[in-house]
Structure 1
Amino acid sequence: MKKALYLLVAIVLTSCTNTDPNEQLQNLTGYWTIEKVEVENDSVIEYSLSQYIDYIEIKDSVGFRKKLQPKIDGGYIEASNDSEKITAKIEDDVLNLYYSTAFDEWQ
C-alpha cells in the first residue's frame, strides 16, 4: 500500500501538462493529496477523502516527505515523527524520486 502511494506521486509528476523535469522539480515542494493510484495492468485504486496529507520538501535534489493532519484553523500538525528521505534525479529527461527509510528503499 505504501509503495502504491509513492507510485501515485510519480504518476502525478509525470502526468502534469508540463513535461520539463526541471520545472517539475521546482514545483514539487508543497502539500499533496492522493486521489488515485494507477498501477500496472490498467488497474486504478481510488482514495476517498483522507485525514492526512503529504508534505514534500526538496532542496538541491534532496528532501523528505511527511504525513500531516490538517487543523481546523487551517494549519497542520505532524501525524507522526516519521519521514522518508527523497532524492530527486533527472534521468533520460524524466524526474525520478528515490525514497528511503531505515527499513526500505524504492523508486
Structure 2
Amino acid sequence: MKNTFMVLVLSILFVSCKQEIKPADIAKLNGYWEIEKVVFDKGEEKAYGMNENFDYFQIKGNKGTRTKVMAQLNGTFLTTDTFEDVSVRFSDKGTFLDYKTDYAKWSEELISISDGKFVVKNDQNKEYHYKKAGPVNLMKDGEETK
C-alpha cells in the first residue's frame, strides 16, 4: 500500500513539473543553438564542449526550417543549401517538432523552452539539451559582431 501511494505521489509530481509549452513560446526557437549535452535513456550524459556546428531555426507561426551551420572565426556562420522543414504540432500528449527532408521524416518532443535553453526528446528517448549561441569573434580583437 505504501509503495502504491509513493508511486502515485511521484507520478503526480512528475506530471505537474512538465512545462506547458504555448504557441507564443515557439518564437523563442528562432536563432542559433548549440547542443550542450545529450542525456541517454538510461540516464548517462554526454557533455559537449566547444561546438563547431550549430542549428539555426527560422520558424514563423508553426512552420519553418532548421539549418546546420558552422561558426567562423570572424563571427559569421557558414551555411549550405541543406535544411530540414520543421512543423510544430500541439497535441494532448505534448508539443512536437516534425522534421521533413526529401529522404526522411521524424519527430522530436519539445520538453521545455526558455529564452536561452530548450530540450527535445527523440523516439529513442535521448534528450538533447540546447543552449542559445551567439557569434564567436576571434579575429577583430574584441570588436562586436552583428
TM over 0.5: yes
Change (3 A) 1:69 1:34: same
Deviates more, 1:43-52 or 1:27-36: 43-52
TM-superposed deviation, 1:34: 0.3
Residue 40 (1) aligns with residue 2 (2): no
TM-aligned CA deviation for residue 57 of structure 1: 0.8
Unpaired runs of at least 5, structure 2: 1-17, 108-146
Residues 28 and 93 (structure 1), Cα distance of their counterparts in 2 relative to 1, 3 Å cut? farther
Name the counterpart of 2:63.
62
Letter aligned with residue 87 of structure 1: S
TM-score (norm 1): 0.71
CA drift of 1:18 comes to: 5.9
The aligned counterpart of 2:111 is: none
Deviations 1:44-80 (A, max 9, x none): 23223221111011112111111111222222120x3
CA distance in 1, matches of 2:103, 2:21: 32
Structure with the higher strand share, 1 or 2: 2
Q: Which runs of 5+ in 1 are unaligned?
A: 1-16
Residues 67-103 of structure 1: CA deviation (Å, up to 9, x unaligned) = 111222222120x321111101121273210011111
Moved segments of 4+, more than 4 Å = none
Q: Which structure is larger by alpha-carbon Rg, 1 or 2?
A: 2
Give the total of aligned pairs.
Answer: 90
Q: Take 1:106 and 1:39, find their aligned partners in 2: how far apart are those partners?
A: 18
CA deviations on 1:10-54 (whole Å, 9 max, x unpaired) are xxxxxxx96433233121111100011123222323223221111
User: d(CA) in 2 for partners of 1:21 and 1:93?
Assistant: 13
Answer whether contact 1:32 1:55 (CA < 8 A) is retained: yes
Q: Once the two structures are aligned, what percentage of the paired residues are identical?
A: 26
1:71 maps to 72
| Superposition pairs of residues 1-107 of structure 1, within 5 angstroms | 19-78=20-79, 80-92=80-92, 94-107=94-107
Tell me, in whole angstroms, the C-alpha distance in 2 between the residues paired with 1:100 and 1:39: 24
Aligned to 1:20, the other structure's residue is in SS state coil
Which is further off, 17-26 or 60-69? Answer: 17-26
